[in-house]
Amino acid sequence: MRTRSLTLAVVLFAMAVSGCRKHRGHAGAPKDVTPSVATDLRDRARKTSRAFAILRSLTDEVGPRMSGTPGDARAVDWALAKMKSLGLVNVRAERVMVPHWERGEGSGSIVAPVQQSLILTALGGSVGTPEGGLEAEVLAVPSLQALEDLPADKVRGKIVFFDKPMARTRDGSGYGKAVDVRGKGAIAASKKGAIAVLIRSVGTGPARLPHTGALRYVDDVPKIPAAALALPDADLLRRTLERGPARVKLNLGCKQLDDAPSANVVGEVTGSETPDELVLLGAHLDSWDLGTGAVDDGAGVAAVLEAARLISELPRRPRRTVRVVLFANEEAGLRGAIEYAKVHKDELPKHTMALEIDLGAGRVYGVHYLAGPSSGPGFQAIAAPLRVLGVAPPIASEHHGADLWPLRAAGVPLVDLAQDATKYFDLHHTADDTLDKVDPGDLDHVVAATTAFAFGAADTTADFGRIPEDKRK
Amino acid sequence: MRTRSLTLAVVLFAMAVSGCRKHRGHAGAPKDVTPSVATDLRDRARKTSRAFAILRSLTDEVGPRMSGTPGDARAVDWALAKMKSLGLVNVRAERVMVPHWERGEGSGSIVAPVQQSLILTALGGSVGTPEGGLEAEVLAVPSLQALEDLPADKVRGKIVFFDKPMARTRDGSGYGKAVDVRGKGAIAASKKGAIAVLIRSVGTGPARLPHTGALRYVDDVPKIPAAALALPDADLLRRTLERGPARVKLNLGCKQLDDAPSANVVGEVTGSETPDELVLLGAHLDSWDLGTGAVDDGAGVAAVLEAARLISELPRRPRRTVRVVLFANEEAGLRGAIEYAKVHKDELPKHTMALEIDLGAGRVYGVHYLAGPSSGPGFQAIAAPLRVLGVAPPIASEHHGADLWPLRAAGVPLVDLAQDATKYFDLHHTADDTLDKVDPGDLDHVVAATTAFAFGAADTTADFGRIPEDKRK
């Protein structure tokens, strides 16, 4: 299965899936789509989008907003105010308790055979090192399997270094293939008696900035600290190990605090005919702490807010309600997404479609859908106005944003506007995730595609069915 | 005057100069150049260069080597051993006392109107902030002149933010135009009563890594701390100031320690006919502390060492002696270069030419010379084998490496192999100055040009004269 796999959760879910079966629609196309309005919206979005200004406001006035932190709380206030000012209605914060983790100071160095600083950062959720840090010989392995194949006495007392590179691809699939060491490396290494984990950052950029991201622990395996090395530092450690044994010192001041309140922030454009039917436009409000979350996922937040604003200003609103959901805590647990599905359980049958924008401002090149078996013609119809943006016709696929997993489990039809991820993983989860990295023209392209598609989805009377049981996970 | 201006010293010297007068040679070409040997050397360099291995050894086994630090001492030992192993003779360390400055920890943040971290680093030589840091309102100015034009009561008690961007150019000339705020900003701001200085990093890269570099103080103006913001952080501060007043907190743990011993490391390939006549091939051994000094100036060190090795292995050595000098403390005071000129004062009339490689591994596209008025044909002849490398014919120019200033003052003919600096200032003086940023093919190109040119310079009997008095500074 190919998957965008934006979070550990996605990867873990994905592993349970086998094969990629495509559903191509075969029922007749609906007759009531209003392509001229969608086309006008698309062109208006490209000319008058305010998405970059929204993104600037979020990144400059709120900045980093890791779940549970004061920045997260400021982001919730910002989102409530911004939705209201953009003309959305039924604006509210739906409370969610989220993990609250503190990175603290982190440092590392090779101490033998020569002293060299290493630029690294803790993986999200890592425990800290003991007071004064820890120091041990390093054991490099290229994969979880390679570690698995080693006897425990080769691993015991060492720092395991997962040196697994990520490939650069347009569809971001290199990420899913490399990220397992981040999510599961600490568990696997601890089981063999290692005292800490280093990973080559799961990213593609040459800059000396490490990529953080969530790890997992399980209750019955001792929690050991884990950090990501910037790619040049992973290279240095690899080359040093090629010359002989090496020892590393590691100091991480991480702390897991009590869960803290956050919120999914929700606002709507009420449908004109069947307002109880919903099209969900999602993005996630939280970010990592190192950058200002401009690409992950400020761009998505700006795109869905601007799409809703453009739709809300139409002289005639679409039939169905467009609901914007800015999810809490996508990065470290999907607590917002899980809570949304729980709180809105009774309403999920009325969610006719959900999509999430969470791959920065990469231009849209395709439409992926996971829906009922007769849904193809409906998707073809509402995606038609995207053709002039260079977007290929919709295809059945299991790609989708991470926050949509709980909706998938409930059968809600999912859409993914496939975005160009070629450069996304240069920045992802690093300090370099800042406003200057977002091209306004690219962002407006995403807004145009999102707006036209969302309008079509909300204005059609087509029924996209439900995801078949065997695809719900 | 156009200048490459690689250090503050260069810029300061450069400011005293007006106009760019070119000297084109007019005497007859020497008859004794041996182009076939130079051509063979050039081609051998491209096929068999070991420069990248030398560079890897320096960056991996020594790493950062800021003057006065333990890394600097290790670099001296490394250079002595490497020169010997490469077959150079008369290898020695010529002791130089150098400044010893400690960066310490540094941090900064916008504290009003909103809290945002700023990624910054102290300028080299900066004093630290008072215990607990300092906090003040920020005043942005685009240039030294703009600050000069302000009344002192607008500046007093503030942090002055020099927001002067640097242009990307092939010849690196954008650097010389932007770097004055780094060198002189702290003096200018302190004179008006400012308590600290921030500058937009003098660099061109989009990564969130600040560019350090030396500043100056003068005795009669209070020393205030100064730091460089990464470009995205300078952008954030600028945008924040566009919305209204902003306050910044700054904490720098810098310390100036006692001068420490270092050395110019010297080795030679003895000339076969007139060994007292010297061609000096220079690079600088010190680096800043943030990266491993791969491009600045590990590439230069590797190139001149490899050029000397290739020349030393010829069946017939060139007439003149090739002397490799790896200068101490280029980055923060040119102490090595000044000491070299002092110690070798009596020998300088026998220095027939000097060149320095100090612009990374950017490919050579031209040859600049500053020499006697009849030297043109000699340069044309020895540069001829470089044509197939894409190198333009030599032109008279005042570009040259920073360590050559004291030789210029003594009239020694100078050559600059003009290198493509388009990307150099993305990395310069940042943590990103690491081995992975050097393309081995580019480095070997530089080695080929350096080797062929150096051989020609050492094997000719041409006399390049002396720099005219009015050009010596």
Judge: A208–B432 Cβ closer than 8 Å, yes or no: yes
- The token pair that represents A42 in the structure block: 């698309």
pLDDT, tens only, A440-458: 999 999 999 999 999 999 9
Question: Of how many residues is chain B composed?
Answer: 473
Peptide bond into B113 cis (omega under 30): yes
Q: Which residues of chain B have pLDDT under 70?
A: 1-35
For B49-94, where are the alpha helices, taking DSSP H only?
51-61, 70-86
Could you give the strand order of the β-sheet that contains B255-269, starting from the edge strand earlier in sequence? B89-102, B255-269, B320-327, B274-284, B351-356, B414-419, B364-370, B395-396
Kind and range of the H or E run holding B347: none
DSSP-based three-state secondary structure for B412: coil
Kindly list the residues from chain A whose CB atom is less than 8 angstroms away from the CB atom of residue B430.
208
* Helix, strand, coil share (%) of chain A residues, nearest 5: 35, 25, 40
Would you say A426 and A204 are in contact if contact means Cβ atoms under 8 Å apart?
yes
The number of C-alpha atoms within 13 Å of B236 and in the hemisphere containing its C-beta is 38
Cα separation, A164 vs A203, whole angstroms: 10
A299-312 vs A70-85: helix crossing angle, rounded to 10: 20
The model's confidence at residue A15, banded by pLDDT at 50, 70 and 90, is very low
Q: Which conformational region is residue A322 in: left (phi greater than 0), alpha (psi within -120 to 50 degrees), or beta?
A: beta
Q: What is the pLDDT of residue A85?
A: 98
The model's confidence at residue A34, banded by pLDDT at 50, 70 and 90, is low
- For residue A280, the cross-strand partners are A323, A354
Mark A257-268 as b/e (b = at least 16 C-beta within 10 Å). Answer: eebbebbbbbbb
pLDDT, tens only, A287-339: 999 999 999 999 999 999 999 999 999 999 999 999 999 999 999 999 999 99
Q: Are strands A364-370 and A414-419 parallel, antiparallel or unpaired?
A: antiparallel
Q: What is the pLDDT of residue A87?
A: 97
The number of C-alpha atoms within 13 Å of A333 and in the hemisphere containing its C-beta is 19
Is some CB atom of chain A closer than 8 A to the CB atom of B229?
no
pTM of the model: 0.92
Q: What is the pLDDT of residue A473?
A: 81
Facing B436 at nearest CB: one of A56, A232, A435: A232
The active-site residue, picked from A277, A306, A330, A356, is A330
C-alpha distances in Å from residue B330, one per residue of B62, B151, B386: 17, 36, 28
Q: Are strands B89-102 and B226-229 parallel, antiparallel or unpaired?
A: unpaired
Measure B95 CA to nearest chain A CA, in Å: 24
Query: Taking CA atoms, what residue in A is nearest to B116?
Result: A63
Q: What is the pLDDT of residue B473?
A: 81
Cα separation, B141 vs B177, whole angstroms: 16
Is some CB atom of chain A closer than 8 A to the CB atom of B66?
no
In total, the C-beta contacts within 8 angstroms joining chain A to chain B are: 90
Query: Taking CA atoms, what residue in B is nearest to A238?
Result: B60
Name which of B436, B438, B439 to mutate to probe chain A: the one with the most chain A Cβ atoms within 10 A of its Cβ. Answer: B436
Kind and range of the H or E run holding B174: helix B173-178
Cα separation, A318 vs A462, whole angstroms: 13
The yes-or-no answer on residue B330 being catalytic is: yes
Q: Which conformational region is residue B380 in: left (phi greater than 0), alpha (psi within -120 to 50 degrees), or beta?
A: alpha
pLDDT, tens only, B168-198: 999 999 999 999 999 999 999 999 999 999 9
Query: Taking CA atoms, what residue in B is nearest to A63?
Result: B116
Facing A236 at nearest CB: one of B60, B115, B117: B60
Kindly list the residues from chain A whose CB atom is less than 8 angstroms away from the CB atom of residue B431.
119, 208
Kind and range of the H or E run holding A303: helix A299-312
Does residue A26 register a pLDDT over 60? Answer: no
Kindly list the residues from chain A whose CB atom is less than 8 angstroms away from the CB atom of residue B117.
63-64
Q: Which conformational region is residue B5 in: left (phi greater than 0), alpha (psi within -120 to 50 degrees), or beta?
A: left
C-alpha distances in Å from residue B441, one per residue of B57, B60, B281, B362, B446: 17, 19, 21, 10, 9
Facing A431 at nearest CB: one of B119, B235, B243: B119
Q: What is the pLDDT of residue B34?
A: 61
Which amino acid makes up residue B175? Y
**Neighbouring residues of B171: CB distance < 8 A, sequence distance ≥ 6:** B2, B4, B399, B418, B421
> What is the interface pTM, i.e. ipTM, of the complex?
0.91
Would you say B152 and B279 are in contact if contact means Cβ atoms under 8 Å apart?
no
Q: What is the pLDDT of residue B24?
A: 33
| CA A130 to centroid of chain Cα atoms | 31
* Domains defined along chain B, listed by start: 8-100+258-471 (3.40.630.10), 104-253 (3.50.30.30)
Q: How many CB atoms lie within 10 A of CB A238?
A: 16
Q: How many CB atoms lie within 10 A of CB B229?
A: 27
Judge: B209–A206 Cβ closer than 8 Å, yes or no: no
Q: What is the pLDDT of residue B35?
A: 67
DSSP-based three-state secondary structure for A205: coil
Would you say B251 and B142 are in contact if contact means Cβ atoms under 8 Å apart?
no
Q: Are strands A320-327 and A395-396 parallel, antiparallel or unpaired?
A: unpaired
* Phi, psi torsion values for B160, nearest 5 degrees: -85, 130
What is the number of helices (H) and of strands (E) in chain A? 15, 16
The model's confidence at residue A23, banded by pLDDT at 50, 70 and 90, is very low
Query: Taking CA atoms, what residue in B is nearest to A65?
Result: B116
* Phi, psi torsion values for B259, nearest 5 degrees: -55, 150
